[in-house]
Amino acid sequence: MAGNSTDGLLAARDLVELRDDKHYFPPYDAVPIARPETLRRYPEARAALLELAGKISDQEMRKMNYEVDGEHRDTADVARDFLHAKGLD
């Protein structure tokens, strides 16, 4: 079965992540996307997005996804807790 390294339910299903030694799957790196007019209207959004750059590891994303998918926590609460833990609130 195929899955993403950030899928929250991987641990809940007792699955093992295999090494992709043939480099079949491209890296999965999240990137922010915003409309130019949004960034013009809300210049603080650019700074907020830049502040998040490089702050979320695959393990942290997997944990947050599990909290939402497996524990049925509210997405906003999970995000708020993550930002607080990183001192970004």
For residue range 52-83, what is the model confidence (pLDDT) as tens digits? 888 898 889 989 999 999 999 999 999 999 99
B/e letters for 7-21, b = 16+ CB within 10 Å, e = fewer, are bbebeeeeeeeeeee
* Per-residue pLDDT tens over the stretch 37-50: 999 999 999 998 99
Q: List the domain boundaries for the chain.
A: 1-89
Read off the pTM.
0.75
